[in-house]
Amino acid sequence: MVFAFHQSSNLLFKSPAFHTSHFEDDNDYGMTVEEFQKKVSVSNKIVLVFFHADWCKPCIKLKPEIVALGNETKEYCELLNIDTDANPKIAEHFEINSLPMFVIYKNGKKSWENIGLLTKAQVKAKIDLFNK
């Protein structure tokens, strides 16, 4: 079950159970937990996971910048866009309770995570930190 923080009322609410994509470049829909774990563990690159949902306003605002960042860093960083509504088992397994959420994996191990809105420059700084 995925919950989000509603800014105007300061309440948590359950996300809608439907999916309407605003982004044509999403690449990780309907992935199993096992497929996710394999992707982050076998990559010889840093893996940036961007957990988001189409109903999440900060996610919508940030998504184009993160996709651009993924393209800019693709030589050393793999970007996984995970829509939590399309991947509820992953969201449940990793207890994703707030969005947007970023996780960096290096050598198959979680090295960093952040919940909330960040700038493209802040995310790139973290990627570069783990690329050393």
Model-level pTM?
Answer: 0.78
Determine the Cα–Cα distance for residues 111 and 36; give it in Å rounded to an integer. 16
Question: What 3 state SS string does 1-56 have?
Answer: CCEEEECCCCEEEECCCCCCCCCCCCCCCCCCHHHHHHHHHHCCCEEEEEEECCCC
> Which of the following is catalytic: 2, 4, 49, 56?
56
Please state, in angstroms and as integers, the Cα–Cα distance from residue 13 to each residue in 19, 77, 128, following that order.
Answer: 16, 33, 35
Percent of the chain with pLDDT strictly greater than 70:
78
Q: Read off the DSSP letter of residue 100.
A: S
Question: Quick one: tokens of 132?
Answer: 């050393």
Q: What is the mean pLDDT of residues 75-90?
A: 94
Q: Which helix (H) or strand (E) holds 109?
A: strand 109-115
Selected catalytic residue, list 46, 47, 49, 59: 59
5, 53 contact by CB (below 8 A): no
Is 77 marked active-site? no
pLDDT, tens only, 15-66: 333 333 333 344 556 789 999 999 999 989 999 999 999 999 999 999 999 9
CATH superfamily of 28-130: Glutaredoxin (3.40.30.10)
Q: Where are the domains of the chain?
A: 28-130
Gap between the Cα atoms of 78 and 46, Å rounded: 6
